[in-house]
Structure 1
Amino acid sequence: MEKNGYIDPYTTVMNYLSITPGKWEIKYNENIRGISGKEHRFDAVYRSQEGEIVTVMVVLRTEDLEKRLDDFKNGSKDVRAKRKFLIVCGEINSDMVSELKSENISILMLPGMFCSQVSSYNADAGSNDAPRSLPDGGIEESQRKRSRANIIMDLIRAINENSNQIPVTRLFYACNINHRMGRSIIEDLEHAGIVILRKTGPNRNVVELTRKGISLINDYEFIREILEK
């Protein structure tokens, strides 16, 4: 699904699987033996009851794409993958896009904001899910230690965990950010079409996730699940 140039990986992959008969099994970091007898490793593999194979490669840095691409293409061909998905953080040039399309590889490019967060998650080996304790400097120092991308995803997840809407003050408190920083980020997210800010009373504002925001959450969890397995 494309929204203003953004292709939603989770929805795209799930939509493909939903229109294909039979149940699917997913394996992460899976080795599969091809018809040549050689084993190939994939970030994720979907296999249907009918034996259809869908391969997935996740590239967090565009500079790693070229050196991994040949292995992915050759491996997918050797295991007779019917569909191939490349999920890449950042933009790739038009020549590369044309080459990938000619190889029948579906390209799903993630926005920079998402890439920064998922890359830091991968580097921290899941530390984003660990309980946070504030440093000696309190909230201000904590905010300096967290990247803007981390804070953005924390905000989006907090809204999502509260049935996709939450009062502004409670949101900022839950994410350990001050009002000034929170307002700045909410304005950016609203401009990007990820959240809506609604006034529900004289001194009460509620932040809601849009469909685009919900898709972003699904994508984050989808990629994170692949990376942490």
Structure 2
Amino acid sequence: MADPIIIAVPKGRILEEALPLLEKAGIVPEAAFADPDSRALRFATNRADISLIRVRAFDVATFVAHGAAQLGLVGSDVLMEFDYSEIYAPVDLDIGHCRVSVAEPVAMAAGDDPREWSHVRVATKYPHLTKRHFEARGVQAECVKLNGAMEIAPVLGLAGRIVDLVSSGRTLKENGLVEVEVIAQVSTRLIVNRAAFKTRAAIIGPLVEAFRRAVEVRDAA
């Protein structure tokens, strides 16, 4: 019997929205998968030929690009940052909506106009996405790579601005920051390893279609 198809799913906010879609696509994980206290990383499903791994959002794309997982659910922000040629993203799952934005302290924003920037120093976990965005506008971007706690960077003088994911904006507000520019709208995508899509088309093709139908059924309800 061939090895099971592995689907990489991110921990955190996307997981809750993804579970109903997985079920609509005919994939029901074992109970431990939805348990935030579980330390397991790999989980069985109702299908012997499919298993799930639960990893950090930024790692989903890496697992799929390198073929350790054949499919994954990941935000378009991650795809824009890594831009892996080995990944195909056939379905927008229309969940996990947020945006990648530039934010700065409220006092700075009061007299600031992003259209006049020529050089910016930003703290971000998206250095490649950020540099591409600003280069397209003719702005020189100096990126300080952080993996978290971005909002504290301006307060401590590490960088005047940040580029980060924004959903409600509450975290920015609580840290004295305000959005001044939206770089990209974000939603979660189904991604597939291109090589696996060719070599295991008999199982991956129907899976992709199952996710596409799941989105259509949900949106029609």
Could you state the TM-score of these two structures normalised by the residue count of structure 2? 0.32
Q: Which has the higher strand share?
A: 2
Instruction: Give the number of the structure with larger relative contact order, counting CA–CA contacts within 8 Å between residues 6 or more apart.
Output: 2
